Amino acid sequence: MRDPTPGPPHALLRWRVAAPFLLVALIWGSTWYVITGQIAQVPPSWSVTYRFALATPAMFALALATGKSLRLGRAGQGLALALGLFQFCGNFNFVYRAEQHLTSGVVAVMFALLLVPNALFARALLGQRITPRFMAGSAVAIAGVALLLAEEARTAPLGGNIALGVALTVGGILSASIANVIQAGETGRALPLASLLAWAMLYGTGIDAAVAWATAGPPVVPRDPAFWAGTAWLALAGSVVTFPLYYGIVRAIGPGRAAYNGVLVVVVAMLISTLIEGYAWSPLAVGGAVLGMAGMLIALRARSSPAEG
């Protein structure tokens, strides 16, 4: 059911939404490149397993430090298991494998399209309305993402099985979207977020390890300190810090509008690449970034309740 009480306009302008929105984009904008170093040394599933094996105790510690109960009940544990399967296993296993066939930039840009399934799943599963303003903003943003994707495909040294890479990325997008929406339902909203995520990461780590052993054999443990430094960043900053913030955003402004964070993530990733790797902005890339940001602002500035897409 949609909350009939109108919410305040321009929700993103409230610092309690804007601050985590920007922080998540800044951190996740840095993670796409880090992942490429992870899969260069270790089979993707083991890299995912190590990430969440490190993140899980930290998330339990966060839940306890903030005074949250770890008791979820049967329904809550079922939701945690589903989140572990879709978010912390399916999503990341698809993404890490996709980056074996596509550049991190292409995968990141494709993930900006998360706003589409998020809005559709929220409509189907939660009964949340898709507003005309959101549709207009999405059309503008998708045009911008298409330009960015065309630019990445034009300049990136694509290799491997490109069609498989695209299919894996789509699998990751759909897995993440399902997780985004189901945690925003009635059961998820009744549970402390840190506790729900702690259990979800625990279940996800167990599933990740099973998938890794079945597909890649026994664990591969690299000795390179850079690998473990990257794993720590992805686990602590890229997971423990960001997922409570991002899922809080989903609950505050709805899954559809929260997914616009992915558009900002792409722009942040490109800015980081500009500073670190000397990325050169072409007219196509500039146009795509401008359209993506414009579409995001159009959709996010709607007067709506949190239940609206």
Distance of alpha carbon 139 from alpha carbon 136, whole angstroms = 5
Q: In this structure, how many other beta carbons lie within 10 angstroms of the beta carbon of residue 169?
A: 24
The number of CA neighbours under 13 Å toward the Cβ of 287 is 9
The band of 158, judged by pLDDT with boundaries at 50, 70 and 90, is: low
Distance of alpha carbon 112 from alpha carbon 95, whole angstroms = 13
Residues of the chain above pLDDT 90, percent: 44
The band of 218, judged by pLDDT with boundaries at 50, 70 and 90, is: very high
Residues in the chain: 309
Distance of alpha carbon 251 from alpha carbon 273, whole angstroms = 31
CB within 8 A of 49, min separation 6: which ones? 205, 208, 209, 212, 219
Backbone φ/ψ region at 7: left (φ over 0), alpha (ψ -120 to 50), beta: beta
Helix (H) or strand (E) holding 74: helix 73-85
pLDDT of residue 102: 77
Q: pTM for this structure? A: 0.86
Given a cut of 80, is residue 164 above it in pLDDT? yes
Would you say 172 and 95 are in contact if contact means Cβ atoms under 8 Å apart?
Answer: yes
State how far Cα 123 lies from the chain centre.
19
- The DSSP 8-state label assigned to residue 6 in this structure reads P
| Region 123-141 average pLDDT | 83
pLDDT of residue 301: 66
Given a cut of 50, is residue 9 above it in pLDDT? no
Q: Which of 187, 215, 218, 233 is nearest to 79 (CA)?
A: 187
The band of 126, judged by pLDDT with boundaries at 50, 70 and 90, is: confident
Q: In this structure, how many other beta carbons lie within 10 angstroms of the beta carbon of residue 202?
A: 21
Query: pLDDT, tens digit, for every residue of 265-302?
Result: 888 887 877 777 666 778 888 888 888 888 877 776 65
CB within 8 A of 74, min separation 6: which ones? none
Would you say 275 and 220 are in contact if contact means Cβ atoms under 8 Å apart?
Answer: no
The band of 93, judged by pLDDT with boundaries at 50, 70 and 90, is: very high
The band of 100, judged by pLDDT with boundaries at 50, 70 and 90, is: confident
Q: Considering the chain, what is the average pLDDT of its residues? A: 85
Q: In this structure, how many other beta carbons lie within 10 angstroms of the beta carbon of residue 46?
A: 27
Burial of 237 (0-12, 13-18, 19+ CB in 10 A): middle
Query: pLDDT, tens digit, for every residue of 32-73?
Result: 878 888 888 899 999 999 999 999 999 999 999 999 999 999
pLDDT of residue 295: 81
Burial of 153 (0-12, 13-18, 19+ CB in 10 A): middle
Two tokens at 304?
């709506």
